[in-house]
A and B are shown apart, each in its own frame.
Chain A
Amino acid sequence: MKRQLPFLLVFLFGAFMVFQYYVPHESSEFVYEFLLDWVMIIGIFALALGIWSLYTVSVDKIRHKKENWAYSYVTLIGLFIMVVLGFTYKVGDSWGFYSVFVISLMTLLGFLIQTSVSKDKGLWLGLSGLSLVVALGIAFTDDSWGIAFMTSEGLSNTMFTNFADFVLTPILATMFSLLAFFIASAAYRAFRARNILATLLLIAAIIVMLRFNPYMPFGLPEYMAKTSNWLMNVPNLAAQRAIVIGIGLGIVATSLKVILGIERGYMGKG
């Protein structure tokens, strides 16, 4: 029951999904769409596991005052503020006491964490209750904004979009651009022309990188652009194609091993 039933489920649903792909009937299409919905729903519930894990790891860091523990508050506040903003929206022309509501929820979060980590639980629990009362009081009396779980008004909440545009995007873009520096220094160490293969790699990389350089003389930019275009569309295409075919065959082989119960690592121990 503990192990056999999951294996049976994997085999039955896996074999069925492979089979239905080759059945050209609308009922087959319906079952496909239906089970795809199931997978999405189960997957989202699994996301809660990840969020809970993030929360417990952060609280654990705070509780045991591990290295850089104070930054865990930043993570938790970032997480919860986005969730609060994503479920709320503006109704009238002004936000009313919305900012007080958000701050009281964030203080509630902080006090709850303190309750779980502190010895003086009564004080922090009392403060948590106070924050909750303030938040609920504003939520029930302030009509200038609303809470929406079932409709997507929260996605157009300007505070939510501002957090995405001015917090998330700049940091992610900067982190990716940081990699340009690290890649360049790693490339210097890794791609020295020690043998013919490393030299091929180096030359191809340099030509592609110089593609947009406008400062080269004697019509070289045009020649570089053409060579780079050829590199990307001929040898690179061949290499990528070989890799993609390899990946595809690898996924098929691994999936077959999973369906047939040869690969069982995903079940864990016990």
Chain B
Amino acid sequence: MEFTDFLWMTCGIFLTLATFSFLYKDNPFYKFAEHLVVGVSAGFFVIILWHNTLVPNLFQKLEDGDWYMLWLNSSEWWYIIPALLGVLMWTRFSKEYSWVSRWPMGLYIGISTGIAIPLEMANRVNKQLHAMMVEIDWANFFGADGFDLLSTTSGLAQLIIFLGTVAGLIYFFFSKEHKGVFGGVAKFGIWILMIGFGASFGYTVMARVSLFINRMQDTKAWGLEAFNANDIANPNYGSQYQIVFWALTLFVVGYIVKEIMQHLKSKNA
């Protein structure tokens, strides 16, 4: 690893520590990282959308035209229309003409909602209903390999999935009072939903913990790099690596000591 790459890595570690410092309290380092990520992510997505969407979908379509002809001599000149409509969106900034922005907005919303209706029905509703309505495997009701209540492919699992989905949908149906048999099914539905929420919650926590482990592993890798203690020795290694490591460490320790002193001072006052 070259020294400039190590400096970039140090920058990442500093920002990691700055963000984690929020666990202690809101502080200038966290605020710095927070404001930086807002700007950098906005800039990042501007560039990604420009290069990956605007250029191929607009500029490349009009590239055989001439700017002084306003691209009207392009073979696909009609792509000027969405560009003009997009520009009309900017009339939002004007108090007098902001109503003009409703035209492109109307077109955008019309197309988007029109696309959404059949696609949502096909991809969410119909596909899920189709997957739900499988024939129950009565022959292997408790699993193919003998009695196994925790089998995910058994007829019992299929039955629970079917009944759980129906009951879950019934729980969300509020046009009829949840009483009697209907209320009982709705109750089963909320049980299934709560188990599902619990499992999803546990899964989310584990995903976040794995991110935390990843940040710690990166920090460890940075420390090893600073002392050339990785499995593969760094041919570019020099004392500057350790200087950077100790500079950041001293900085962090200094901030912690300052906070402790401040805390003790306020306690004694």
Q: Chain A residues near B87 (CB, 8 Å)?
A: 45
B120 near A251 (CB under 8 angstroms)? yes
Rounded to whole angstroms, the CA-CA distance of A230 and B220 in the bound complex is 36
Q: Chain B residues near A68 (CB, 8 Å)?
A: 31, 35
A248 near B165 (CB under 8 angstroms)? no
Q: Chain B residues near A41 (CB, 8 Å)?
A: 54, 57-58, 79, 82-83, 86
Look across to chain A and name the residue whose beta carbon is closest to the beta carbon of B63.
Answer: A150
Interface of B is mostly: helix
A201 near B198 (CB under 8 angstroms)? yes
Rounded to whole angstroms, the CA-CA distance of A165 and B162 in the bound complex is 44
Q: Chain B residues near A176 (CB, 8 Å)?
A: 208, 211
Q: Chain B residues near A174 (CB, 8 Å)?
A: 15-16, 19-20, 211, 215
Rounded to whole angstroms, the CA-CA distance of A9 and B23 in the bound complex is 50
Report the number of A-B residue pairs with Cβ-Cβ less than 8 Å: 420
Interface residues of B in 117-171 (CB under 8 A from A): 117-121, 123-125, 128-129, 131-132, 150-152, 157, 160-165, 167-169, 171
A75 near B35 (CB under 8 angstroms)? yes
Q: Mark A217-236, 1 if CB is under 8 A from B, else 0.
A: 00000000011111111111
Of the candidates B58, B93, B163, B195, the one whose C-beta lies within 8 Å of that of A201 is B195
Interface flag for B257 (CB, 8 Å): no
B124 near A248 (CB under 8 angstroms)? yes
B23 near A6 (CB under 8 angstroms)? no
Of the candidates A8, A180, A212, A243, the one whose C-beta lies within 8 Å of that of B168 is A243
Q: Chain A residues near B60 (CB, 8 Å)?
A: 150
A204 near B199 (CB under 8 angstroms)? yes
B115 near A17 (CB under 8 angstroms)? yes
Chain B interface residue count, Cβ-Cβ cutoff 8 angstroms: 122
- Closest beta carbon of chain B to A94's beta carbon, Å: 13
Interface flag for B196 (CB, 8 Å): yes
A171 near B39 (CB under 8 angstroms)? no
B40 near A252 (CB under 8 angstroms)? no
Q: Chain B residues near A77 (CB, 8 Å)?
A: 39
Q: Chain A residues near B3 (CB, 8 Å)?
A: none
Of the candidates A173, A246, A252, the one whose C-beta lies within 8 Å of that of B214 is A173
Interface flag for B33 (CB, 8 Å): yes
Rounded to whole angstroms, the CA-CA distance of A45 and B20 in the bound complex is 36
Interface flag for B193 (CB, 8 Å): yes
Binding site for A on B (CB under 8 A): 8-9, 11-13, 15-16, 19-20, 22-23, 31-55, 57-61, 63, 79, 81-83, 85-87, 89-90, 92-93, 98-99, 102-121, 123-125, 128-129, 131-132, 150-152, 157, 160-165, 167-169, 171-172, 189-206, 208-209, 211-212, 214-215, 218
- Given A76-B39, A200-B191, A204-B198, 12 additional A-B pairs, CB 8 A: A41-B54, A44-B49, A45-B90, A46-B108, A75-B35, A81-B43, A181-B23, A211-B202, A229-B150, A235-B192, A235-B195, A267-B105
Binding site for B on A (CB under 8 A): 2-3, 5-18, 21-22, 32, 35-52, 54, 68, 71-72, 74-83, 85-87, 149-152, 154-155, 160, 162-181, 183-184, 187, 196-198, 200-209, 211-212, 226-249, 251-252, 255-256, 258-259, 266-268, 270
